[in-house]
Amino acid sequence: MAYFIGLGYSDGFSAHLARLLEELVPDSPVRLTVGTDAVCSHCPNNINGFCSKPDKVAGYDRAVLDLCGLGEGDILPFGVFASLVQKRLLAPGCRPGICGDCQWNEVCAAHPSRWA
Contact residues for ligand SF4, defined by CB under 6 A: 36, 39-40, 43, 45-46, 51, 57
Q: Nearest distance from residue 25's CB to ligand SF4, in Å? A: 22
Q: Which is nearer to ligand SF4, 36 or 84 (CB)?
A: 36
Q: Which residues contact 28 (CB under 8 A, 6 or more apart)?
A: 77, 78, 79
* Amino acid in position 114: R
Q: Nearest distance from residue 20's CB to ligand SF4, in Å? A: 11
Would you give the distance in Å from CA 94 to the centre of its chain? 14
Q: Which is nearer to ligand SF4, 22 or 27 (CB)?
A: 22
Strands 29-31 and 75-77: what pairing? antiparallel
Q: Which is nearer to ligand SF4, 12 or 92 (CB)?
A: 12
Q: Nearest distance from residue 30's CB to ligand SF4, in Å? A: 15
Distance from C-alpha of 64 to C-alpha of 85, rounded to nearest angstrom:
7
Q: Nearest distance from residue 110's CB to ligand SF4, in Å? A: 20
Q: Which is nearer to ligand SF4, 53 or 87 (CB)?
A: 53
User: Which stretches of 9-91 are DSSP H helices?
Assistant: 11-23, 54-68, 78-85
